[in-house]
Amino acid sequence: MNTNNNIPAVNYHLWEPCNFRCKYCFATFKDVRKSILPKGHLPKEDALKIVDKLALAGFTKITFAGGEPTLCNWLIDLITRAKQHGMTTTIVTNGSGVTADFLKTVHSYLDWIAISIDSVTPETNKVIGRSMGNAITPDFNWYYTKAELIKQYGIKLKINTVVNHYNFNERGLSDLVNKLEPKRWKIFQALPVKGQNDQYFDELAITNIELDVFVKQNKIDNPRTHIVVENNESMRGSYVMIDPAGRFYDNTNGGHTYSNPILTVGVENALGQINKDYQKFILRGGLYDWK
């Protein structure tokens, strides 16, 4: 794939099930589960074939996301297959499945882990749904322990934060980021997507000004952490994404628009059916030294 014309990174949302209930989630895929994918995911062999085809098409970085990808019993197989193709491998996780046993098995094949951290205040995490009932309500120490474990296994750490009505005025997250020194900290404005988060979005929405408030109040003094801030406009169309049914999709029209299945029509044909903007990918800092 020629990176002068094509986005070289792909986000594979391979798994609809999730054990957290984040109200702002733009990738619930309830529509996919109801319409064509009752289990919320493809069979293992089909998912592996998609990874093969993406690598052959020239994608050089793959991010496995969900739902919660660590719930997938064959996530390690997918990561291993991608690494065998020479791809840079990443997962985005809520942290619940990040254990010593998981990291011990996967660390030779996994380059990056992005932990989604919106707040270090349990009350905030409960109200936005970033918790697992009474079983897990993350706080500062919970996230710190998870992140330190990742670093112990030599995996690069990234933190993803979604800024919404309930956390935009909080200041405590910068303390955690300063202490953990992740390679990257991505700060997103909560994104409305029709059919995915309509039920809650009115209570979660923030303006660009409120996004700036969060950024200014959570400045860090560690030059080793690269900060990327993405508002709604910079996100739309700047990612190449795949849904749990193995289709490319985009959200440029406010909701999800899906291609035909990759395993049916091939990567090139399916990719041509969705909107993507390489320049927006570059402008939001999507191309960096991820090796």
Q: What is the pLDDT of residues 87-127, one digit of tens each?
A: 999 999 999 999 999 999 999 999 999 999 999 999 999 99
* pLDDT value at residue 4: 47
CA 205 to chain centre: 19
Q: Which of 226, 235, 227 is nearest to 190 (CA)?
A: 235
Query: Which residue type, as a one-letter code, is found at position 10?
Result: V
Model pLDDT for residues 125-175, shown as the tens digit of each residue: 999 999 998 889 999 999 999 999 999 999 999 999 999 999 999 999 999
Give the DSSP letter string of the chain: --TTTS--EEEEE-----SS--TT-S---HHHHHHT-TTSS--HHHHHHHHHHHHHTT--EEEEESS-GGG-TTHHHHHHHHHHTT-EEEEEE-STT--HHHHHHHTTT--EEEEE---S-HHHHHHHT-SBTTTB---HHHHHHHHHHHHHTT-EEEEEEEE-TTTTT--THHHHHHHH--SEEEEEE----BTTSHHHHHHH---HHHHHHHHHHT----TTSEEEEE-HHHHTTS--EE-TTSEEEE-TTSB-EEEEEHHHH-HHHHHTTS---HHHHHHTT--S---
Amino acid 221: pLDDT: 85
For the entire predicted model, the pTM comes to: 0.96
Confidence band, pLDDT 50/70/90 cuts, at residue 50 = very high
Q: Which residue segments constitute the domains of the chain, with CATH numbers given?
A: 9-283 (3.20.20.70)
What is the rounded average pLDDT of the residues 62-79?
Answer: 98
pLDDT at 7 over 60: yes
